[in-house]
Structure 1
């Protein structure tokens, strides 16, 4: 049974989605770009599969998850829906097979061992789209490869037969103006394209900085609570 609260929730979700898409379009046009060339990924971390189902009914086709367990569970429950699943969290080599079974795109390849594990997990499932994650901070403990090492990692990925290198991904540091950080990412992306011209994706930009990311050439945005609303209480 659908309640009034359910209906209001769907209405609010639709309004938030429309508002973000309008802002993306404005930012793209301001940067001299076609909004159609930008993919908006809705990050559904900690939200139930039912929310993803509602998003699909609103036309969303790309969703992102940070944790392998959530990714696997939601993808299995919603396998009948036409969705592209993006894994955007830090990947562990011992979970590479589970990630590969559920994800269409892995944004967070930050070391050769993880790339190797994803490749070994191939089971006649075609090519897995992957991006090299770049660490734009000075903290080596953060996810991502150092910018100076991104091309070498890209070349490593290119040597793995079941992976298809799509481009680069990064998160802007909290202590730096995002436009400057994304400009550095764009330079890294150009270096990667020099070794693989088809690797044209730049996954960058979240709720607070997607305008700057679009200006720097981002092709994929990862937006969560501005669309989904507050994360549910996990008790």
Structure 2
């Protein structure tokens, strides 16, 4: 067993518990997703042995390959958190249990069309910046997108996701996301998930109501060198 990995996981989990208690929340309300981008599938096997059941991947090819190798692990949930593309919707849907990055009707339609009757959990990715080139629906259009997703038979809208901007403190950005989540729930009352917070800002996300944290290097260690 990789004791360093176990120690990093335990340290992050302790910090999540502290952040939840500081916010007056139950730590059991928070799902910790370990992001394993660029790491080998063997790391996921080690994490699984440590009790991790939620894994996040950013790239479709990597998600597909790791799911093919490890998909038989009972109870392991695969979260696709990267930018979704319509031409990869079928491959993403085949491997992911949750897609965090629905940001336009076309990708929602593509994911729905790729379905085989099963229901896929999805979240709306919200752009918290003023840069239209960044992924995510602008907050003013989130309700309309939520209504569109809710009309699709094989998608289940669970909530919203966002990445904090680099040029401002994370707390006010996550407060905007929480306000957007409230608006989405006016359309879909059961869409209660807020996917926000990464290694550097998850305590602020927890304080603003995040239910799902996407944490990579603080648990996995540095990404391996790529050829």
Same structural fold, with TM-score higher than 0.5 when normalized by the shorter chain: yes
Shift of 1:79: 1.3
Larger radius of gyration: 1
Unaligned residue ranges in structure 2 (runs of 5+): none
Distance 2:150 2:71 in 1: 29
Q: Does 1:189 align with 2:212?
A: no
Distance 1:119 1:195 in 2: 19
Q: Does 1:95 align with 2:84?
A: no
Deviation track 1:147-206 (CA, whole Å, cap 9, x = no partner) reads: 100111010100000000000000000011100000000000000011111000000000
Shift of 1:222: 0.1
Shift of 1:57: 0.2
Q: Does 1:62 align with 2:54?
A: yes
2:101 corresponds to: 108
- Match of 2:130, SS state, is coil
Unaligned residue ranges in structure 1 (runs of 5+): 1-6
1:45 corresponds to: 37
Report the count of equivalent residues: 226
Q: Which residues in structure 2 correspond to 1:77-226 (within 5 Å)?
A: 77-82=69-74, 83-124=76-117, 126-226=118-218
Distance 2:156 2:6 in 1: 34
- State which of 3, 6, 13 in structure 2 corresponds to 1:14: 6
TM-score, normalisation: structure 2: 0.99
Distance 1:231 1:196 in 2: 37
Shift of 1:105: 0.1
Distance 1:203 1:176 in 2: 19
- Match of 1:98, SS state, is helix
Shift of 1:118: 0.1
Q: Which runs of 4+ in 1 moved over 4 A?
A: none
Question: Is the deviation greater in 38-47 or in 79-88?
Answer: 79-88
Distance 1:145 1:80 in 2: 34
